């Protein structure tokens, strides 16, 4: 066996022990050239994910609030300079209407997404939308992807009841960043880089990070992102709750060459695996940018969350047609994604229990590192599926889920059967 492979195996053993990797170890993984060794890396990433979270895969939907943007990111359909774009910002009532529709379809967690525009999507607007969705729909947790804010604005956002604050650096390569973000507040690299410091200082314990893969050399950006995460961990004792792996996609009005730093499907699998191994307890999020078949494969390299049935234009769930941020590849409905996950031997989950119970930040990470989280995830996933079955599933899926739940109840010694009966009687949000 080559000497390098012995080192890689040592790194894989460290990840399997759920330890965070250091930069030399991350670089060694990114530099693996032996395809046979990659199979071992993928397999270990899957095992690490199952040690932490078991078989569950969390499902959510994005809710786009606005596509009016003050920035001009060259790769984005919402950019200010795209004069062809049909613009829309949802009123509070329209945001509630979309959230209520998604709730009826069975979603319990939504990611609110807004372009960067102080007047259209400032902190007052977010507070009003969040308050109205919590008060007027059955959505249980809202996460937010929005512009970097001041510490005071982040405090207000946190106080409004948000779970995860998400913001991507897009690329850490400064010359590329400057070229791709020519105007607006986003042109300020350092302001964006400091967003997570300010969010943590404001009290956020759960933050979501990422890069837009395909803007620069992916190995470089992955290493840079993980360096950023490690810096936050060493400074604040907490790193990202989630890492997302968005890949550059065609968008109407985009001005970038999609081929120059193209990330292949195989590369994307490697990126997911490296994230899983580098930060074992992190949630790894796959969006509907990716085609259905590839998304199904990414679960076996460490992914743990996916969006489903998504629309990427404001009011897109109620009325399709306005400008999208990017093209959606996986057009399957939530029902179809749930069915597919079941056939892969995974457990789809609409659970929001940790947010209801205050398991966040360090508490969450400690439970994950002690391999205690997966017990919560497993039972809560089943309870959430029972609710979905009662309230939203198609008749065909109901029958399928009924069989799965019956089998799981027979294996459980945890009073699962009684909890399921309560759900049948109409009780909701039962979790551990
Ligand atoms: Fe605006 Fe975000 Fe698009 Fe940039 S990526 S143009 S900030 S919506
Ligand atoms: Fe997520 Fe916690 Fe539910 Fe597991 S138990 S799916 S970690 S909210």
Q: Residue 184 sits in which domain range?
A: 55-362
**Residue 239 above 70 pLDDT?**
yes
For residue 325, give the nearest of 212, 178, 169, 175 by alpha carbon.
212
Please state, in angstroms and as integers, the Cα–Cα distance from residue 62 to each residue in 20, 107, 219, 364, following that order: 29, 10, 27, 23
| Mean pLDDT of the region 153-169 | 98
For residue 270, give the nearest of 7, 6, 33, 59 by alpha carbon.
33
Specify if 407 maps to a domain. Answer: yes
Q: Kindly state whether residues 16 and 159 are assigned to the same domain.
A: no
pLDDT at residue 315, as a whole number: 92
Q: Kindly state whether residues 6 and 144 are assigned to the same domain.
A: no
What digits encode the pLDDT tens for the residues 22-43? 999 999 999 999 999 999 999 9
| Mean pLDDT of the region 140-158 | 98
CA of 76 to the centre of ligand 1 (A): 6
In whole angstroms, what is the distance from residue 343 CA to residue 402 CA?
14
Boundary residue ending a domain (15, 31, 49): 49
Q: Kindly state whether residues 26 and 113 are assigned to the same domain.
A: no
Q: Best mutation site among 62, 115, 178 for ligand 1, i.e. most ligand atoms within 8 A of its Cβ?
A: 115
What's the chain's Rg over C-alpha atoms?
Answer: 21
Q: Kindly state whether residues 159 and 187 are assigned to the same domain.
A: yes
Q: Give strand pairing partners of 209.
A: 243
Boundary residue ending a domain (49, 66, 86): 49
Please state, in angstroms and as integers, the Cα–Cα distance from residue 264 to each residue in 4, 9, 180, 271, 373, following that order: 25, 25, 21, 10, 33
| Mean pLDDT of the region 311-316 | 91
In whole angstroms, what is the distance from residue 396 CA to residue 221 CA?
44
CATH number for the domain spanning 83: value is 3.20.20.70
Q: Kindly state whether residues 14 and 116 are assigned to the same domain.
A: no
Q: Kindly state whether residues 332 and 390 are assigned to the same domain.
A: no
Number of residues written out for the chain: 432
Q: Kindly state whether residues 243 and 349 are assigned to the same domain.
A: yes
The ligand with the least distance to the CA atom of 164 is 2
Q: Kindly state whether residues 214 and 194 are assigned to the same domain.
A: yes
Ligand 1 pocket check for 243: Cβ under 6 Å: no
Q: Kindly state whether residues 116 and 86 are assigned to the same domain.
A: yes
pLDDT at residue 123, as a whole number: 96
Specify if 430 maps to a domain. Answer: no
pLDDT at residue 28, as a whole number: 97
Q: Kindly state whether residues 180 and 325 are assigned to the same domain.
A: yes
pLDDT at residue 414, as a whole number: 79
Q: Best mutation site among 163, 283, 303, 373 for ligand 2, i.e. most ligand atoms within 8 A of its Cβ?
A: 373
- Is this structure's pTM higher than 0.85? yes
Boundary residue ending a domain (330, 362, 394): 362
**Residue 326 above 90 pLDDT?**
no
Residue nearest to ligand 1 atom 4, measured at CA: 73
Ligand 2 pocket check for 312: Cβ under 6 Å: no
Q: Which residues contact 366 (CB under 8 A, 6 or more apart)?
A: none
CA of 5 to the centre of ligand 2 (A): 35
Q: Kindly state whether residues 250 and 337 are assigned to the same domain.
A: yes
Specify if 227 maps to a domain. Answer: yes
Count CA atoms within 13 Å of residue 328 on its CB side: 20
Q: Kindly state whether residues 129 and 245 are assigned to the same domain.
A: yes
Contact call for residues 147 and 126 (beta carbons, < 8 A): no
In whole angstroms, what is the distance from residue 351 CA to residue 356 CA?
10
Specify if 432 maps to a domain. Answer: no
**Residue 4 above 90 pLDDT?**
no
Q: Which residues contact 313 (CB under 8 A, 6 or more apart)?
A: 64, 67, 88, 320, 321, 322, 323, 324, 325
Residue nearest to ligand 1 atom 8, measured at CA: 115
**Residue 328 above 90 pLDDT?**
no
What digits encode the pLDDT tens for the residues 170-225? 999 999 999 999 999 999 999 999 999 999 999 999 999 999 999 999 999 999 99
Handedness of CA 211, 30, 265, 349 (dihedral sign): negative
CA of 196 to the centre of ligand 1 (A): 18
Specify if 280 maps to a domain. Answer: yes
Q: Best mutation site among 55, 380, 429, 431 for ligand 2, i.e. most ligand atoms within 8 A of its Cβ?
A: 380
Q: Which residues of 320-357 are buried (b: 16+ CB within 10 A; e: fewer)?
A: eebbbbbebbbebebbbbbbbbbeeebbbbbbbbbbee
**Residue 110 above 70 pLDDT?**
yes
Residue nearest to ligand 1 atom 6, measured at CA: 79
Q: How many domains does the chain have?
A: 3
Ligand 2 pocket check for 367: Cβ under 6 Å: no
In whole angstroms, what is the distance from residue 98 CA to residue 18 CA?
39
Specify if 7 maps to a domain. Answer: yes
pLDDT at residue 2, as a whole number: 55
Specify if 160 maps to a domain. Answer: yes
Task: Please state whether beta strands 141-145 and 162-166 pair in parallel, antiparallel, or not at all (unpaired).
Answer: parallel
In whole angstroms, what is the distance from residue 94 CA to residue 314 CA?
9
| Average predicted confidence (pLDDT) for the chain | 95
What digits encode the pLDDT tens for the residues 69-105? 999 999 999 999 999 988 999 999 999 999 999 999 9
Specify if 392 maps to a domain. Answer: yes
| Mean pLDDT of the region 378-393 | 97
């Amino acid at each position: 066996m080559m000497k390098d492979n012995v080192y890689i195996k040592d790194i894989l053993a460290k990840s399997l022990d759920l330890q965070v990797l250091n930069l030399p170890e991350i670089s060694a993984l990114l530099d693996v050239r032996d395809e046979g060794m990659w199979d071992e890396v993928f397999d270990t990433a899957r095992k690490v994910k199952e040690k932490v979270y078991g078989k569950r895969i969390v499902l959510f939907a994005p809710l786009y609030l606005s596509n009016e943007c003050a920035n001009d990111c060259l790769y984005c359909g919402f950019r200010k300079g795209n004069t062809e774009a049909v613009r829309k910002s949802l009123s509070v009532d329209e945001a509630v209407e979309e959230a209520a529709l998604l709730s009826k379809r069975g979603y319990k967690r939504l990611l609110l997404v807004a372009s960067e525009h102080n007047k259209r999507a400032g902190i007052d607007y977010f507070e009003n939308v969040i308050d109205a969705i919590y008060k007027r729909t059955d959505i249980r947790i809202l996460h937010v992807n929005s512009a970097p804010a001041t510490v005071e604005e982040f405090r207000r956002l946190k106080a409004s009841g948000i779970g995860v604050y998400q913001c991507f650096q897009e690329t850490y390569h400064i010359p590329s960043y400057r070229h791709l973000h020519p105007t607006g507040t986003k042109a300020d690299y350092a302001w964006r880089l400091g967003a997570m410091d300010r969010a943590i200082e404001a009290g956020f314990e759960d933050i979501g990070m990422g890069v837009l893969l395909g803007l620069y050399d992916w190995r470089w950006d992955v290493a840079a992102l993980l360096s950023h995460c490690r810096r936050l961990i060493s400074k604040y004792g907490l790193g990202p709750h989630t890492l997302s792996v968005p890949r550059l996609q065609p968008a109407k009005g985009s001005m970038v060459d999609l081929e120059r730093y193209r990330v292949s499907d195989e590369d994307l699998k490697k990126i997911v695996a490296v994230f899983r191994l580098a930060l074992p307890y992190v949630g790894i999020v796959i969006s509907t940018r990716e085609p259905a078949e590839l998304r199904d494969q990414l679960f076996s390299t460490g992914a743990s969350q996916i969006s489903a049935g998504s629309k990427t234009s404001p009011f897109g769930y109620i009325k399709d047609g306005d400008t999208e941020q990017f093209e959606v590849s996986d057009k399957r409905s939530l029902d179809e994604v749930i069915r597919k996950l079941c056939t892969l031997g995974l457990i789809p989950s609409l659970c929001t229990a940790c947010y209801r119970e205050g398991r966040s930040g360090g508490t969450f990470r400690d439970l994950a590192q002690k391999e205690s989280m997966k017990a919560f995830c497993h039972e809560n996933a089943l309870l959430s599926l029972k609710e979905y079955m009662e309230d939203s599933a198609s008749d065909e899926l109901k029958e399928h889920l009924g069989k799965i739940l019956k089998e799981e109840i027979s294996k459980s010694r945890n009073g699962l059967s009684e909890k399921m009966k309560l759900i049948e009687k109409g009780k909701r949000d039962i979790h551990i």
